[in-house]
């Protein structure tokens, strides 16, 4: 099969495929997909290994540890699948390569700095809103939750509010 | 049937099966995201600059596809929609503030938490950096949470669905969402053409798009028609 890194699925067909994956997840698991919850558990696991006595003193970390091993959760297994699926998609499309994605005039070091900073903001935000674009906007949105729709519209609003100030990253 | 794997209540043997299913649906999730272009920062943030509305198209098509599936299966008495909605309680204020922050972080990093995992899987160093940031940000939240007081639980409305909020049956709400989604797709395509200009052709939409729109409308109407069935649980708002 021909590999063309700049060729993507028709977005509407991709959307139907994603919707069907989500629907199957709802039917089998009783809840939808997620992402940030698993990333958080990775952090809890790291803290519990590096500073176990400290972990016990932070309620939001101790609560996860009470339920057993922090990585023994279905969301963590789902994210292992996401990584496998991502690798398969990237290799078969010719998009797998070690690089920094950015505009041509922006330095890699600054781009990495923005990526880390944006990640910190999102990690905080996803805990506050009890889920991210996957668990809250996509899954809760499909389940017609009022809070998930309020979250989703707020994500778009927040993005548009700052986009102008960050435009040099991408040009 | 509500769920085949009520995951919290599984015996060890079936729990292992549930975890295997989690890996399989994750593979589907990651593969579709990658093939839709969600492992690439510029494609994702294009949404916020008007040159590429792929995020809107993929996400809203996915939402209405799964929503229609849930509504139709609920009308047929196969799925308990309320049991699924129970997992998505509303805490209005932290969700709005969290959404605004997450949107800002999205344009800073170029990814959302899920797509940063796909970018990592395709070798992108900005993707891994974002994942590490999300790990750190979650831990920052854990440490400051006691100082936030009652705010994370404010605006508590329970498992409030759009249909309960609007006082309309779920299939009617779903049909409205389909109409809004298709209007948003057409608007997004128009903005793409304006921003790109006539010189740069935006990805062809083709026949697939037309048939997907027709299919979504047809299923939405079928969902509304199923309100006449006696089996449904979705008729009550």
Average pLDDT over residues B46-53: 95
Q: How confident is the model at residue B231 (pLDDT cuts 50, 70, 90)?
A: low
- Comparing CB atoms, the residue among B3, B105, B203 nearest residue A125 is B105
Interface predicted TM-score (ipTM) of this complex, two decimals: 0.97
Q: Are residues A93 and A119 in the same domain?
A: no
Query: How far does B11 lie from chain A, in Å, by closest CA?
Result: 14
CA A106 – CA A43 distance, rounded (Å): 30
Please indicate whether, in this complex, the C-beta atoms of B22 and A30 are within 8 angstroms of each other.
no
Checking if the pLDDT of A118 tops 50, the result is: yes
| pLDDT-derived band at B17, boundaries 50, 70, 90 | confident
Of A98, A119, A135, which closes a domain? Answer: A98
A77, A122, A128 ranked by CB distance to B112: nearest: A122
Show residues of chain A in contact with B116, CB under 8 Å.
119
Distances (CA, A) of A124 to A93, A135, B47, B59: 33, 15, 23, 23
Q: Residues A64, A120: one domain?
A: no
B64 contacts B212 by C-beta, under 8 angstroms: no
Percent of all residues in chain B with a pLDDT value above 70, rounded to a whole number = 87
Total tally of structural domains belonging to chain A: 2
Q: Which residues of A touch B186 (CB under 8 A)?
A: none
Residue A145: pLDDT over 50: yes
Judgement on whether residues A41 and A71 belong to the same structural domain of the protein? yes
Mean pLDDT of chain B: 91
- The answer to whether residues A118 and A169 belong to one domain is yes
B50 reaches A (C-beta below 8 A): no
Decide if pLDDT at B45 tops 90.
yes
Domain shared by A56 and A20, yes or no: yes
Domain of A80 in residue numbering reads as: 1-98
User: What is the number of CB-based contacts under 8 A between chain A and chain B?
Assistant: 547
| Same domain, residue pair A121 and A75 | no
User: Do A124 and A171 reside in the same domain of the chain?
Assistant: yes
User: Which residues in chain A are closer than 8 Å to B185, comparing Cβ atoms?
Assistant: 12
Q: Do A84 and A5 belong to one domain? A: yes
What pLDDT sits at residue B229? 78
Pair (A106, A90) in one structural domain = no
User: Within an 8 Å CB–CB cutoff, is residue A136 touching chain B?
Assistant: yes
B66 touches A: beta carbon within 8 Å: yes
Q: Of B55, B89, B213, B167, give the one whose Cα is nearest residue A146.
A: B89
Average pLDDT over residues B155-181: 97
Position B16 confidence tier, pLDDT thresholds 50, 70, 90: confident
Q: How confident is the model at residue B2 (pLDDT cuts 50, 70, 90)?
A: very low
Average pLDDT over residues A68-75: 94
Shared domain check, A148 and A77: no
Shortest CA distance from B215: residue in chain A: A16
8-state DSSP, B197? T
Residues A80 and A94 reside in one and the same domain: yes
CA distance B171 to B174: 5
Contact A18, B33 (CB under 8 A): yes
Residue B153 sits at the chain A interface (C-beta within 8 Å) = no
Residue of A158, A112, A110, A113 lying closest to A133 (CA atoms): A158
When pLDDT is averaged across residues B196-204 and rounded to a whole number, the result is 59
Whether the CB-CB separation of B115 and A171 falls below 8 Å is answered with no
> pLDDT tens for residues B121-135?
999 999 999 999 999
Please determine, for residue B138, whether its predicted confidence score (pLDDT) is greater than 50: yes
Whether B123 and chain A come into contact, CB under 8 Å, resolves to yes
User: Which chain B residues contact residue A126 at CB under 8 A?
Assistant: 98, 102, 113, 134, 137-138
Per-residue pLDDT at B1 exceeds 50:
no
Residue B226: pLDDT over 70: yes
- Residue B160 phi/psi, 5-degree rounding, is -85, 120
In this predicted model, which residue has the larger pLDDT, B10 or B78? B78
Å between B204 CA and nearest CA of chain A: 8
Asked if the model's pLDDT at residue A64 lies above 50, the reply is: yes
pLDDT of B8 strictly over 90: no
């Amino acid at each position: 099969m021909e590999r063309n890194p700049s060729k993507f699925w028709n977005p509407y067909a991709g959307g139907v495929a994603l919707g069907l994956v989500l629907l199957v997840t709802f039917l089998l698991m009783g809840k939808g997909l997620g992402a940030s919850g698993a990333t958080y558990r990775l952090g809890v696991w790291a803290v519990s290994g590096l500073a176990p006595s400290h972990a016990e003193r932070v309620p939001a970390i101790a609560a996860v540890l009470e339920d057993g091993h922090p990585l023994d959760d279905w969301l963590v297994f789902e994210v292992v699948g996401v990584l496998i699926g991502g690798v398969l998609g990237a290799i078969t499309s010719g998009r797998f390569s070690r690089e920094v994605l950015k505009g041509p005039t922006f330095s890699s070091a600054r781009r990495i700095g923005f990526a880390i900073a944006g990640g910190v903001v999102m990690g905080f935000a996803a805990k506050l809103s009890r889920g991210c674009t996957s668990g809250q906007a996509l899954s809760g949105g499909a389940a017609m939750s009022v809070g998930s729709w309020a979250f989703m519209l707020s994500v778009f609003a927040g993005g548009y509010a700052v986009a102008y100030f960050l435009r040099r990253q991408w040009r | 049937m509500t769920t085949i794997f009520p995951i919290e209540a599984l015996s060890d043997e079936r729990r292992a099966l549930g975890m295997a299913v989690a890996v399989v649906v994750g593979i589907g999730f990651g593969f579709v995201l990658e093939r839709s272009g969600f492992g690439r920062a510029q494609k994702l943030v294009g949404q916020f600059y008007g040159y590429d509305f792929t995020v809107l198209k993929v996400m809203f098509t996915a939402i209405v596809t799964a929503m229609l599936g849930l509504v139709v299966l609920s009308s047929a008495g196969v799925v308990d929609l309320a049991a699924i909605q129970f997992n998505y309680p509303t805490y209005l204020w932290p969700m709005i503030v969290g959404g605004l922050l997450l949107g800002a972080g999205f344009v800073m990093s170029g990814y959302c938490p899920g797509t940063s995992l796909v970018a990592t899987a395709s070798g992108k160093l900005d993707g891994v950096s974002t994942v590490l940031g999300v790990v750190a940000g979650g831990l920052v939240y854990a440490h400051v949470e006691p100082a936030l007081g009652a705010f994370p639980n404010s605006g508590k409305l329970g498992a409030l669905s759009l249909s309960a909020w609007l006082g309309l049956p779920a299939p009617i709400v779903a049909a409205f969402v389909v109409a809004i989604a298709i209007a948003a797709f057409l608007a997004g395509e128009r903005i793409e053409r304006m921003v790109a200009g006539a010189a740069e052709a935006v990805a062809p939409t083709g026949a697939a798009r037309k048939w997907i729109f027709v299919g979504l409308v047809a299923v939405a109407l079928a969902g509304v028609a199923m309100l006449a069935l006696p089996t449904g649980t979705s008729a009550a708002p």
